[in-house]
């Protein structure tokens, strides 16, 4: 089965070790949710997979081929926390560049058709984030990394994004991280927690309490 995985990730910022022998993967048809407290290395890990940060060590394999940087596979899309599309680009042009194969599907989405000839700087912050998320979800690549996709979005936009992810994941693999952990739990097939520089497979919310990600409750 096609799969993206990265293994043995070690990374330091100066004298501080951020990631130690970290492993994460996703298969086609699967959403892997990535959780962790601020500063634990979630965004750093996604940037290492994509190739915008060079770690001290890692092993990256995409569909049985090893890559130094994920973007070199030409099969990986990445949504960073900051704006993705340049301000002066129109929505229609961004679709042509990033999602030519899925253009018809995108045009069926109300907000896309409404702002097709609008430049990104003319959108509100929430509209821009929502459309950029859709561009990555419907991109032509098999694997998608989403860093804080639900930030800045209204609850209705969050639910709509989750619906689109579920629609297209039959042919894609996703790794998604967000501070809205309930949305991650709701959309993910598997959960990985970054904690104390390492990764842990999480089966339920109780294990998030056990590892200190969520507060415990006393009677």
Q: Which of 28-37, 61-70, 127-136, 197-206 has the lowest mean pLDDT?
A: 197-206
How confident is the model over 41-61, as pLDDT tens digits? 999 999 999 999 999 999 999
On whether the CB atoms of residues 148 and 176 are closer than 8 A, the answer is no
Q: Does residue 12 have a pLDDT over 90?
A: yes
Q: Does residue 219 have a pLDDT over 80?
A: no
The whole-angstrom separation of Cα 23 and Cα 101 is 32
Give the whole-number percent of the chain exceeding pLDDT 70.
98
Q: Which of 22-26, 37-41, 91-95 has the lowest mean pLDDT?
A: 37-41
Residue 88 in domain: no
- The pLDDT value given to residue 159: 96
Q: Which sign does the torsion angle of CA 53, 59, 63, 64 carry?
A: positive
Q: Does residue 215 have a pLDDT over 90?
A: no
DSSP alpha helix (H) spans, the chain: 42-50, 91-98, 103-107, 110-114, 125-137, 155-168, 181-187, 205-210
CATH number of 21's domain: 3.40.50.300
Residue 56 in domain: yes
How confident is the model over 66-109, as pLDDT tens digits? 999 999 999 999 999 999 999 999 999 999 999 999 999 999 99
The residues that bridge with 59 in the sheet, in sequence order, are 7
- Quote the mean pLDDT of the chain: 94
Residue 119 in domain: no
Residue 34 in domain: yes
Domain count, the chain: 1
Residue 33 in domain: yes
Arithmetic mean of pLDDT, 175-202: 94
pLDDT: which is higher, 202 or 218: 202
Arithmetic mean of pLDDT, 150-172: 95
Q: In what order do the strands lie in the sheet with 143-147?
A: 76-79, 143-147, 173-177, 30-35, 190-195, 198-202
Question: Which structural domain range is residue 49 located in?
Answer: 3-83+141-210
- The pLDDT value given to residue 218: 39
Residue 114 in domain: no
Residue 15 in domain: yes
Q: Does residue 216 have a pLDDT over 80?
A: no
How confident is the model over 114-146, as pLDDT tens digits? 999 999 999 999 999 999 999 999 999 999 999
Q: Does residue 11 have a pLDDT over 70?
A: yes
Residue 105 in domain: no
Measured in whole angstroms, the distance separating CA 57 from the mean position of its chain's CA atoms is 21
């Amino acid at each position: 089965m096609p799969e993206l995985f990265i293994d043995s990730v070690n990374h330091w910022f100066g004298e501080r070790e951020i990631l130690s022998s970290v492993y994460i993967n996703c298969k086609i048809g699967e959403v892997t949710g990535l959780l962790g407290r601020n500063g634990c290395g979630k965004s750093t890990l996604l940037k290492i997979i994509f190739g915008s940060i060079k770690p001290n060590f890692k092993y990256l394999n995409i569909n049985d081929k090893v890559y130094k940087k994920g973007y070199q596979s030409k099969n990986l899309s990445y949504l960073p926390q900051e704006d993705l599309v340049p301000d002066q680009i129109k929505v229609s042009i961004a679709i042509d560049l990033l999602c030519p194969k899925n253009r018809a599907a995108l045009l069926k989405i109300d907000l896309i058709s409404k702002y097709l000839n609008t430049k990104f700087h003319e959108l509100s912050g929430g509209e821009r984030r929502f459309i950029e998320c859709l561009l990555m979800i419907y991109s032509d690549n098999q694997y998608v990394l989403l860093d804080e996709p639900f930030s800045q979005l209204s609850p209705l936009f969050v639910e709509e994004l989750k619906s689109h992810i579920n629609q297209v994941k039959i042919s894609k693999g996703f790794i998604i991280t967000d501070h809205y952990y309930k949305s991650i739990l709701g959309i993910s097939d598997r959960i990985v927690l970054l904690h104390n520089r390492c990764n842990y497979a999480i089966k339920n919310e109780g294990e998030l309490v056990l590892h200190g990600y969520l507060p415990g409750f006393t009677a």
